Amino acid sequence: MIISKDDFSKLVEKEVSQAGVSYMDAIVICAGHTGIEVEDAAKLCSKTVKQMLQVEAEELNLMERASSRLPI
Burial status of residue 44 (CB atoms within 10 A of its CB: 0-12, 13-18, 19 or more): buried
Please report which confidence band the pLDDT of residue 10 belongs to, taking 50, 70 and 90 as the band edges. very high
DSSP label at 43?
A: G
φ, ψ of residue 63 to 5 degrees: the values are: -150, 160
> Is pLDDT of 67 > 70?
no
What is the rounded CA–CA span in Å between residue 33 and residue 44? 14
Number of Cβ within 10 Å of residue 66's Cβ equals 10
> Is pLDDT of 24 > 70?
yes
Domain, as residue range, for 11? 5-59
Domain assignment present for 28: yes
Give pLDDT, residue 41. 92
What is the arithmetic mean of pLDDT over 34-45? 92
What is the arithmetic mean of pLDDT over 7-26? 96
Please report which confidence band the pLDDT of residue 65 belongs to, taking 50, 70 and 90 as the band edges. confident
Domain assignment present for 65: no
Domain assignment present for 52: yes
